[in-house]
């Protein structure tokens, strides 16, 4: 692995010196420049100096007291130096800061006090991701599936959406964070490990260890299985932020089955998501619940990310789709037909609908996957090259 050039931005002089020693100590990277102040505008001389250094990585320290300034700097540097990878350094106890840093453009969040090993692992992950052929340096997108009300069909949708994305684009992970994980059953898989194992080993988790915790489905989809008992040690949301940070840097698409889990973890993962698919039926109680769930998930921002999926859809005289949207207060994204026999047989046999060709419902999942990825540049490229070969 070639030596990476690193710029360190930290207002605290001691922290700046410590980071410099740690970076150089990894022996795969070298600190080429350090900045004592956070840039506040594109015209700031600090930005120019960093550009001149042309770093592959910029480490931004997020102090507890002036966090907002550091977050603004991350956003600015992400815009001004789009080819440099931004690593944020801060406290793991503030889940919202982690989310904000990642949304501002940081691709890694590293805990303070930092060790040489933490930095080394982050540098290795960066080098591995850059080697991957998928969209250069970009992070994967997360789609989270939550229920308005228990049993609305979240797991069915998560499993089949993940399979549809896998067959269209490859490099997809399905992560089961439901209170009791059913996704493996839907795919007739017998996982040896689960999300809990990945969380327990976060301190040494790299891409190969992560993959060893995942169970591969025949078409290539990788499942990080859920809990097989309803009681378990509740990991902190900060640990989930760290896990998803890694998932997003290794997979092109990450589909999350949250089913009916409604807690800080689901909210955190929703915050990291491109789109949250809120699954509901079209009855009054379900739509009322959908409105409440959207309110809960949107409390920390990003309400517009939550979109409605009407499952078991059938036309009801006198009740339109606009009525459903108005009742839930959520924009309609997709409708999935009601096919009880096909769906329940698929679950009982562990053969997902996407593996059974030509059913209406499988076409609906393919359409949903296409809709969710329609603006992704690489998808357009794929379509173009397919067209050329015809
Ligand atoms: N489109 C559909 N048409 C008919 N039946 C469906 C459809 N989608 C799901 N079902 C049925 O709904 C039931 C629940 O499905 P699923 O396990 O996917 O729900 P869930 O929302 O994940 O449940 P939980 O809240 O327990 O996690 C299943 O028995 C399935 O057969
Ligand atoms: Mg479920």
3-state SS assignment for residue 22: helix
Tens-digit pLDDT profile for the chain (390 aa)?
557 899 999 999 999 999 999 999 877 889 999 999 999 999 999 999 999 999 999 999 999 888 899 999 999 999 999 999 999 999 988 888 999 999 899 999 999 999 887 888 788 778 766 655 444 456 799 999 999 999 999 999 999 999 999 999 999 999 999 999 999 999 999 999 999 999 999 888 888 899 999 999 998 999 999 999 886 657 666 778 779 888 988 999 999 999 999 988 898 888 888 999 999 999 999 999 999 999 999 876 678 899 999 999 988 888 889 999 999 999 999 999 999 999 999 999 999 999 987 688 999 999 999 999 998 865 444 433 332 222
| pLDDT score, position 95 | 85
Residue 154 lies in a domain: yes
Q: Is the CB of 259 under 6 A from ligand 1?
A: yes
Q: Which of 131, 166, 182 is the last residue of a domain?
A: 131
- For residue 178, report the distance from its CA to the centre of ligand 2, in Å: 7
Q: Examine the domain organization and report whether 159 and 65 are in the same domain.
A: no
C-alpha 314/C-alpha 308 separation (Å) is 15
Ligand 1, residue 147: give the atom nearest the CA: 21
Whether 389 is in a domain gets the answer: no
Strands 215-216 and 222-224: antiparallel
In a domain, residue 209? The reply is yes
User: Whose Cα sits closest to atom 28 in ligand 1?
Assistant: 344
Residue 254: per-residue pLDDT? 97
Q: Which domain holds residue 311?
A: 141-384
Asked if residue 70 and residue 164 are part of one domain, the reply reads no
Out of 131, 166, 188, pick the residue that ends a domain: 131
Q: Clarify whether residues 98 and 234 are in a common domain.
A: no
- pTM (2 decimals)? 0.71
Q: The domain spanning residue 251 has which CATH number?
A: 3.40.50.300
Ligand 1 atom closest to Cα of residue 313? 1
Same domain as 265, residue 169: yes
Same domain? For 110 and 221 the reply is no
Which atom of ligand 1 is nearest to 338's Cα? 3
CATH number where 97 lies: 3.40.50.2300
If you measure from the C-alpha of residue 162 to the centroid of ligand 2, how many angstroms do you get, rounded to a whole number? 14
**Distance of alpha carbon 251 from alpha carbon 51, whole angstroms:** 29
Same domain, 201 and 317: yes
Last residue of a domain, one of 131, 152, 168: 131
Beta-carbon-side half-sphere exposure of residue 190 (alpha carbons within 13 Å): 0
Residue nearest to atom 7 of ligand 1 (CA): 312
Together in a domain, 287 and 360: yes
Judgement on whether residues 63 and 161 belong to the same structural domain of the protein: no
Same domain, 246 and 335: yes
Residue 203: the pLDDT is: 84
Q: Are residues 180 and 284 in the same domain?
A: yes
State in Å: Cα 206 to ligand 2 middle.
28
Domain assignment present for 24: yes
Do 165 and 115 reside in the same domain of the chain? Answer: no
Domain count, the chain: 2
> Is residue 239 located within the same domain as residue 301?
yes
CB atoms within 10 A of CB 61: 24
Alpha helices in the chain (DSSP H): 13-25, 45-53, 67-80, 95-104, 116-131, 154-169, 183-186, 195-200, 207-212, 237-250, 264-272, 284-298, 321-328, 340-349, 360-372, 377-389
Q: Look at residue 28 in the predicted model and tell me its pLDDT.
A: 80
How many Å apart are CA 119 and CA 296, to the nearest integer? Answer: 35
Is position 353 within any domain? yes
Q: Which residues pair with 34 in a beta bridge?
A: 8
């Amino acid at each position: 692995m070639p030596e990476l050039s690193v710029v360190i931005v930290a207002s605290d002089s001691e922290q700046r010196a410590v980071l410099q020693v740690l970076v150089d100590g990894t022996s795969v990277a070298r600190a080429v420049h350090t900045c004592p102040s956070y840039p506040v505008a594109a015209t700031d001389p600090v930005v120019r100096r960093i550009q001149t250094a042309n770093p592959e990585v910029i480490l931004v320290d997020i102090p507890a007291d002036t966090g907002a300034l550091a977050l603004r700097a991350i956003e600015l540097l992400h815009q001004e130096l789009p080819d440099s990878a931004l690593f944020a350094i801060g406290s793991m106890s503030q889940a919202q800061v982690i989310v904000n840093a990642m949304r501002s453009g940081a691709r890694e969040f590293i805990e303070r006090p930092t060790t040489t090993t933490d930095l080394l692992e982050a540098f290795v992950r960066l080098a591995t991701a850059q080697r991957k052929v998928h969209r250069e340096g970009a992070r994967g997108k997360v789609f989270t599936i939550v229920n308005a009300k228990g049993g609305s069909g979240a797991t069915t949708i998560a499993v089949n959406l993940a399979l549809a994305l896998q067959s269209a684009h490859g490099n997809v992970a399905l992560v089961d964070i439901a209170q009791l994980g059913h996704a493996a059953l839907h795919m007739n898989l017998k996982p040896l490990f689960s999300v809990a194992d990945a969380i327990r080993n976060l301190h040494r988790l790299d891409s190969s260890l992560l993959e060893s915790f995942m169970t591969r489905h025949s078409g290539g989809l990788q499942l990080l299985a859920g809990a097989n008992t309803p009681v378990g040690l509740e990991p902190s949301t900060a640990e989930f932020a760290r896990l998803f940070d890694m998932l997003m840097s290794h997979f092109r698409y990450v589909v999350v089955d949250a089913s009916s889990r409604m807690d800080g973890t689901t909210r955190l993962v929703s915050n990291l998501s491109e789109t949250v698919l809120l699954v509901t039926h079209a009855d009054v109680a379900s739509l009322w619940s959908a409105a409440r769930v959207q309110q809960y998930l949107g409390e920390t921002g990003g309400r517009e990310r939550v979109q409605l999926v009407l499952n078991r859809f059938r036309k009801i005289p006198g009740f339109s789709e606009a009525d459903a949207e108005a009742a839930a207060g959520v924009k309609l994204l997709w409708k999935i037909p009601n096919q009880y026999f096909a769906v329940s047989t698929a679950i009982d046999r562990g053969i997902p609908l996407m593996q059974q060709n030509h059913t209406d419902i499988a076409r609906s999942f393919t359409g949903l996957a296409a809709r969710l990825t329609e603006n992704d540049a690489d998808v357009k490229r794929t379509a173009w090259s397919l067209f050329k070969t015809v």
